[in-house]
Amino acid sequence: MMFLSFSTLSFPQYLEAKSTRIKKAEVLAKIIFQNIFEVMGMPTTEMKKRKALVKLFDKHADVPIIARAVLGSPWRQLNNNDRSNFIQAFRQYLAKKYTAQFSEFLGAKMMIAKSRDSGGKAGIMVETRLIMPGSSPIKVGWQVSDASGIFKLIDVNIEGVSLLTTERGEIRNQLSKEGGSVSRLAQALLDY
């Protein structure tokens, strides 16, 4: 009887905490979406847009976690300086690569379809639809985690394709081309 009473009291609290986490993740996804398209819509140079995207990544994305996940096992052999250099190069690479790709979605409106909380480090998937004039809606999932202490973006899925998984394949392929040298990989990313 005591167990039943405890579970009855704690279940609503659990639901409230879970819904608060989901709400925070959904707000973050909306903010990121708005900020990306404010940057893409700026009447300025590509270089200034890239710099603004880097600031946006620093503010809303867990770039060190993403960089570590993308690099994989070689990360463990790096000293702090090499890790920092790789993160900086990866950050610049992302901004350069996605400036053009994000521009394709200018004018889109975002609607939240549903959100799921894994309850673990994987965090919350905020599933949205980008409504674009003259085309079918695009499914975009925003993977948000608070494993680092605050909610940050750790992955984006566009039509079921994970950008983290895609980048992992590309980065590891480039690492192979660089003979396994992470410092040469970092330079190649800066030259991208």
CB 110 within 8 A of CB 102: no
Q: What is the 3-state secondary structure (H, E, C) of 107-142?
A: CCEEEEEEEEECCCCCCEEEEEEEECCCCCCEEEEE
pTM: 0.82
Each of the 192 residues of the chain gets a pLDDT tens digit; together they read 344 434 444 545 544 555 888 999 999 999 999 999 888 888 988 889 989 999 999 999 999 999 999 999 999 999 999 999 999 999 999 988 888 778 777 888 999 999 999 877 788 999 999 998 888 999 999 999 988 888 999 999 999 999 999 999 999 999 999 999 999 999 999 988
